[in-house]
Amino acid sequence: MQVHAYGAHSGDTPLVPMAITRRAPGPHDVQIDIAYCGICHSDLHQVRAEWAGTQFPCVPGHEIVGRVSAVGVHVAGFQPGDLVGVGCLVDSCRHCAECGEGLENYCDGMVGTYNFPTPDAPGWTQGGYSQAIVVHERYVLRIRHPEAALAAVAPLLCAGITTYSPLRHWQAGPGKKVGVVGIGGLGHMGIKLAHAMGAHVVAFTTSDAKRAAALELGADEVVVSRNADEMAAHAKSFDLIVNTVAAPHDLDAFLVLLKRDGTMTLVGAPASPHPSPNVFNLLMQRRSIAGSMIGGIPETQEMLDFCAAHGIVADIELIPAGEINSAYERMLKGDVNYRFVIDNATLSVPA
Ligand code: NAP
Ligand code: ZN
Ligand code: ZN
């Protein structure tokens, strides 16, 4: 099946309309008409070849929501009409220890939703800036939010799970002081989720203008990280800091805010390395720097159900496909409130 999509032919040219092919559903496949797709900063890193190994043409997008339009003969869990989501992965080896534990995101054979090898044409996966996608049922998520919220659910599939997973792993909850650095797509979800889990949440931003909005998102306090006095007031006080910043920056400024045995988890994936932290800031209070990458399928479903139960969705700006390139420029300036989501109905312009 040919579908309309939006993608790039090279790392230094804008995204343009194009046609891509989707396979006919196999026995265990679910075919989905995509209603909305969020724009993650990872899409920009990948499609502009800031990370190594981008295959072109590249159709990004891994915050996918829509309706099932067809299912393979052996699919039992989904039927046409169901509201579903697809996140950052569409396959994995299915037999390693990580797959066995539902941590497919750490499987060496994980197949990302775009730019990963696949037998399907053209040989690498193509993502959600497209009208439809075909995915093995194991990697399809069920959406229990009301349909009216669907566009704002899309960002949960990456921004939501990427912040939910470390918050759960490092046990954010009542009695814990949790920092979230960077109030963009990931960070604004991190604030909402940590708040819903019952933690005391401090939002760190470089943008003075986001101060009031961060409180509305659920932060208990907001710190403008360029202000040394505001930073110093939180020295040695955090159990956990989730750092979502998409650019290299001074990690020491945040490390010294961790209390003894505290952890800063990096989820931002800048194209070039951070300056090395001062080892003494780790030794002195037995602090840790960790990393975390998206989440497995069971935890992604748990996150979606947690959000449905707590009425949590993303704060979004819905855009037509023709505005993807300008949305990228605004995202680079931190000018996003707080996730751009594409209305995929606007992709139906012939390529
Ligand atoms: P985003 O919407 O652009 O948000 C990033 C935020 O970081 C900005 O809004 C800004 O917040 C802050 N920031 C940006 N540049 C900065 C700088 N030079 N110094 C300090 N702060 C800066 O991006 P996103 O979609 O949330 O993604 C964030 C990063 O996470 C990207 O690198 C992305 O590739 C990565 N990511 C990782 C995973 C994973 O599995 N680990 C999953 C998804 C995305 P303020 O204006 O508040 O300062
Ligand atoms: Zn993402
Ligand atoms: Zn595996």
- Cα–chain center distance at 324: 17
Residues 187 and 165 sit within 8 Å (Cβ to Cβ): no
- Does 338 sit behind a cis peptide bond, omega within 30 degrees of 0 on the bond before it? yes
Structure tokens at 110: 């994980």
Rounded distance from Cα 93 to ligand 3 centre (Å): 4
Which residue's CA lies nearest to atom 21 of ligand 1? Answer: 245
Task: Count Cβ atoms within 10 A of the Cβ of residue 27 and give its class: 0-12 exposed, 13-18 middle, 19 or more buried.
Answer: exposed
**Ligand 1 contact via 158 beta carbon (within 6 Å):** yes
Beta bridge partners of 288: 263
**Ligand 1 contact via 60 beta carbon (within 6 Å):** no
Structure tokens at 280: 């003494």
Chunked in runs of 10, what are the mean pLDDT values of the chain (351 residues)? 97 97 98 98 97 96 98 97 98 98 98 97 97 98 98 98 98 98 97 98 96 97 97 98 97 98 97 96 97 98 98 98 98 93 87 45
Residues in the chain: 351
Output the pLDDT for position 350. 52
DSSP, residue by residue, 25-44: P-TTEEEEEEEEEE--HHHH
Rounded distance from Cα 244 to ligand 1 centre (Å): 5
pTM metric for this prediction: 0.98
**Ligand 1 contact via 182 beta carbon (within 6 Å):** yes
**Ligand 1 contact via 185 beta carbon (within 6 Å):** yes
Residue of 124, 25, 32 lying closest to 81 (CA atoms): 32
End-to-end, the C-alpha distance of the chain in Å comes to: 15
**Ligand 1 contact via 332 beta carbon (within 6 Å):** no
Residue of 307, 297, 23 lying closest to 137 (CA atoms): 297
Of 40, 63, 250, the one to substitute when testing ligand 1's pocket (max ligand atoms within 8 A of C-beta) is 40
Q: Where are the domains of the chain?
A: 2-158+295-346, 160-291
Tell me 117's DSSP state.
Answer: B
Identify the CATH number of the domain defined by range 160-291. 3.40.50.720
Output the pLDDT for position 349. 62
Q: How far apart are CA 113 and CA 115, in angstroms?
A: 7
Output the pLDDT for position 351. 45
Type of residue numbered 311: G
Query: Residue holding tokens 């403008």?
Result: 224
Q: How far apart are CA 266 and CA 243, in angstroms?
A: 5
Residues 205 and 191 sit within 8 Å (Cβ to Cβ): no
Residues 71 and 31 sit within 8 Å (Cβ to Cβ): yes
Output the pLDDT for position 348. 78
CATH superfamily of 2-158+295-346: Medium-chain alcohol dehydrogenases, catalytic domain (3.90.180.10)
